[in-house]
Structure 1
Amino acid sequence: MSDSAIAASGPYKAHKDKIAHDGGGRRRRRVFSRVAVTALAAALLAGVATTGTAVADDNDLPKVAAGQDRPELQKAMQALVDAGFLGVQVRVNDQNGEWVGSAGVRKLGSAEKPPTNGSFWTGSVVKPFTATMVLQLVAEKKIGLDASVADYLPKLGLDPRITVRMILQHTSGLFNYTGEYFPDGTIKPGIPATGKEWVENRFKSYKPEELVRLALSKEPRFEPGQDEWSYSNTNYTVAQLLIEKVTGHSFMTEMRRRILRPLDMRHTMVGGDRTRLPGPHARGYYRYPDTDGQWKVADVTRQNVSLLAGAGDLISTTEDLHRFSSALLGGRLLPPKLMAEMRKPHPKSAGIFGSYGLGLYVQDAGPNCGGPVYNHNGSAPGGYSALMISSSDGKRTLTASINWGDAAIDPAQVPTTLNNLVKVAFCGGQSAS
């Protein structure tokens, strides 16, 4: 896979056969194992490969009667399964109403499809939630967008030059506690987040302060205030601590009050130390090389995502993610001035998945569509990936979950299959045959 295909919010970065979860990253060259199923996250963890794809005006989309089957969506969804992924559930909302479907299977050895209302680990999809809550506090004048984070969290020992805007935009330079990968191949490891080491430690519990202090013990990626950009989970864990300190309430309590209850998102929760998915769900698997070089597969449906506090620790459903994405882009969660700040991308963050604003990727319009796509997709450390993509007005959304299996996947196939799905959902295109 090309370097541009692994630039995004929350991808796994790989060098030779090692892959380290960092929730995102700059465009940088990597050598991928072409048989590593974990390479899925290179295209899913934050942004979907939507080059040349953006939202069409309603008049440009093919008219389909509400409730009618949409075989082009089913075909595009099936292409992901044909590429080697175990199962997928998709929800599309547009001028024709709502379409839901699933393909593949919900677990190995079963013929049953994934549930279309199933819950899943969403990974970095939580970042727009976190950013939204911080910006709501800015709107309430409880936080200054360009104020020093150290003013609110003096005991952490943060560089006083780091502002609230910087942590939301990934311009703080803070070391990514899940590991830093550099263009020259240099690796600075963080906590176990991939491979055999993660599998064997996937139930370990972490505290947000512990994660931040680990990051602060490492040399920063760059000095704050420089014209640089580098995706770091640490930023959003700091944002969680900021929310909790300013409000005096837990991250989950504030999310319920500010987002979940107003939007009737009854199936979304912060993972925390929870290790089981609630309700119906597909099972997720993780394929990794053992110490002897042999490939192994672990059922990682149960895992502890506290290692990504505020940055990747959400449980949700495609319906709930649609509710959030539609409300956010539709202007129902933030005042116009702050919504404009959220949509404003940093120039150094440009890549195949668009450019990063404050908790959202912005994908420029392509030649055949009429407007930008906004996204922040994600992957759990293993087993699951999620898509959350919206038009600029929130009226058209694509939300999906993909559960991984035991197949060896060529990562070069991933961008094409994802592009097909997005093109069909937003531009009325046909999936590649």
Structure 2
Amino acid sequence: MPALRTLLAIPLAAALFWTFPGSSTTLAAPATDATLPLLVTQGKAPAAALLAREGTKTRFVRTGPTIRRADHFRAGSITKSFIATVVLQLAAEHRLRLSDTVDDHLPGRLRDHAISLHSLLTHTSGLPDFTARTRGTTPVSPTTAVRLAESDPPKARGHWSYSNTNYVLLGMVIGQVTGHSYATEARRRIIEPLHLTGTSFPGTRTKLPRPHGRAYDASGGDVTTLNPRVAGAAGELISTLTDLNRFYTALLKGRLLPPTQLRTMLNTRSAQGHYGMGLYPTKLPCGTTVWGHNGRIEGSYVRTATTRTASTVITFRTNTDTLTKAPQLERRLLTAEFCPRLTPTPPPSPSDA
């Protein structure tokens, strides 16, 4: 096992890096850069990194020596944003309707024949989450994932209840409608047009592309090698900080979906304000609402957030999936980035006085 205590003991002041301020494409460092280390000191992550983009300017900051800007990592449920985009593209092409039932495309797959694609996209289908059975660590086929989900009592349909099973089924629907795997369709429709050179659907490949760092579970064990079938269409994506910022920028700017489908994606009424379709909103203390998704898979936690106009977008990540104070720390970091006036300015150093 790697010397995790050694990583955590490295002084943060020596481990914090950002792009050089002399570059014309570099943003000035905001309070976010002072907040990111809390993911290590309070969240107990070995290392963390963030890439922000505003217009043509970018800023990269990391804490801990084991994460680099170009690293590939597992993006977990951020996969859902890609899957939802493909489904909405197919709807725009009239190859399916969101009101279609799963049974229309996958006859006999579910015992409940009335579950719609719309309810899968918004997590209002009532289908239980298959990872409650697998704990996200056991590789399973899509068919097995659905069978495991149906072995548990269903939730109330029409009420928001996050379930990875929904997006496993959407991956199967994409395959049935197009004749190609969801990975092939996402690559053709999103990854290649946007030149996301660090993004891939690994299928059953257990290794990360190079370059990459290490990934650790909650006890410090190395879980860099992992079978992506633990998540499938609900969370198998591999990506980079740069690629995720580029994807969400293109999505919110309307480069991937027509206006009607983008409005549908951002409509949260069906999910009682919790979720759109592959995206969810977060309202911050300053009144700003950011859109994006998080991704948690063994050994990795990722979060992308952007303004509605995609004028500013950030992605941050840690190389472990368990952060004891993740919700509070994540909100604090987003507030520091998108609500700078609410973030106290640190006192000047003696040299600045």
TM-score calculated relative to the size of structure 2:
0.85
- Do residues 390 (structure 1) and 306 (structure 2) align? yes
SS of 2:169's partner is: helix
Tell me the CA shift for residue 65 of structure 1: 6.9
Aligned residue for 2:293?
376
CA distance 1:414–1:172, change in 2 (3 Å) = closer
The within-5 A match list for 1:11-410 is 66-67=25-26, 69-70=28-29, 72-83=31-42, 84-95=44-55, 97-106=57-66, 114-179=67-132, 190-193=133-136, 198=137, 205-222=139-156, 224=157, 227-287=158-218, 296-346=219-269, 349-350=272-273, 355-364=274-283, 366=285, 368-369=286-287, 371-380=288-297, 382-404=298-320
Match of 2:238, SS? Answer: strand
How many Å apart are 1:279 and its aligned residue?
0.9
* Separation (CA, whole Å) in 1 of partners of 2:148 and 2:313: 37
Native 8 Å contact 1:169 1:346 kept in 2: no
Q: Distance in 2 between the 1:166 and 1:132 partners?
A: 15
**Equivalent position of 1:422 in the other structure:** 334
1:154 and 1:344 map into 2 onto residues whose CA distance is 28
SS in 2 for 1:286: coil
Question: Matches of 1:252 and 1:68 in 2, distance apart?
Answer: 34
Distance 2:344 2:228 in 1: 34
TM superposition shift of 1:399:
0.8
Q: Offset at 1:274?
A: 1.4
Kindly provide the CA deviation profile for residues 163-215 of structure 1, in whole angstroms up to 9, marking residues without a partner as x: 11000011111121112xxxxxxxxxx1243xxxx4xx5xxx42212211222
Give how far 1:216 is off: 2.6
- Give, in whole Å, the separation in 1 of the partners of 2:125 and 2:302: 26
Give ranges in structure 1 of 5+ residues lacking alignment.
1-63, 107-113, 180-189, 288-295
Question: The residue matched to 1:220 in structure 2 has which SS?
Answer: coil
Kindly indicate whether the alpha-carbon contact (under 8 Å) linking 1:76 and 1:431 is maintained by their aligned counterparts in 2: no
Mapped contact 2:101–2:113 kept (Cα < 8 A) = yes
Q: SS where residue 261 of structure 2 aligns? A: helix
Q: TM-score, normalised by structure 1?
A: 0.70
Hey, what's the Cα distance between the residues in 1 that align with 2:110 and 2:51? 43
Distance 2:40 2:344 in 1: 14
Secondary structure at the counterpart of residue 310 of structure 1: helix
Letter matched to residue 162 of structure 1: I
Change beyond 3 A, Cα 1:376–1:71: closer
Q: For 2:155, what is the secondary structure of its paired residue?
A: coil
* SS in structure 2 of the partner of residue 299 of structure 1: coil
Q: SS of the counterpart of 1:424?
A: helix
Measure the CA separation in 2 of the matches of 1:308 and 1:220: 20
For 1:432 and 1:161, locate their aligned partners in 2 and report how far apart those are by CA, in whole Å. 54
Aligned residues of 2:73 and 2:239 also touching (Cα < 8 A): yes
CA contact (8 A) 1:271 1:306 kept: no
Aligned equivalents of 2:318 and 2:75: distance in 1? 10
Deviations 1:196-244 (A, max 9, x none): xx4xx5xxx422122112223333223x4xx422111100000000001
Classify the secondary structure of the residue corresponding to 1:262: coil
The offset of 1:272, in angstroms, is 1.9
Q: Distance in 2 between matches of 1:126 and 1:349?
A: 22
CA distance change for structure 1 residues 329 and 121 in 2, over 3 Å: closer, same or farther? same
Q: Counterpart in 1 of 2:11? A: none
- Asked if 2 retains the 8 angstrom alpha-carbon contact of 1:211 and 1:307, the reply is no
Among all aligned residue pairs of Structure 1 and Structure 2, give the percentage whose two residues are the same amino acid. Answer: 34
Corresponding residue number in structure 2 for 1:17: none
Letter paired with 1:356? Y
Write out the 4+ residue segments of structure 1 that deviate beyond 4 Å after TM superposition.
347-350
Matched AA of 1:164: L
Report the alpha carbon displacement of residue 416 of structure 1 after superposing the two structures with TM. 3.8
Offset of 1:95 from its aligned partner?
4.0
CA contact (8 A) 2:30 2:340 kept: no
Q: Alignment RMSD, CA only?
A: 2.3
Q: Deviations over 1:103-149 (max 9, x none)?
A: 1131xxxxxxx111111111111111111100100000000111112
- Which of 1 and 2 has higher RCO (CA within 8 Å, sep 6+)? 1
Q: Residues 330 and 348 from structure 1, CA distance in 2 versus in 1: closer, same or farther, beyond 3 angstroms? A: closer
What letter is aligned with 1:373?
V
Residue-pair matches, total:
322
Shift of 1:417: 2.8
Cα contact 2:284–2:339 (8 A) shared by 1: no
Q: Is the 8 A contact 2:39 2:45 kept in 1?
A: yes
Quick one: which amino acid aligns to residue 187 of structure 2?
R
5+ residue gaps in structure 2? 1-22, 347-353
SS in 2 for 1:374: strand
Q: How far is the alpha carbon of 1:69 from its aligned partner?
A: 4.5
Distance in 2 (alpha carbons) for counterparts of 1:278 and 1:244: 25
Give the partner amino acid of 1:331.
G
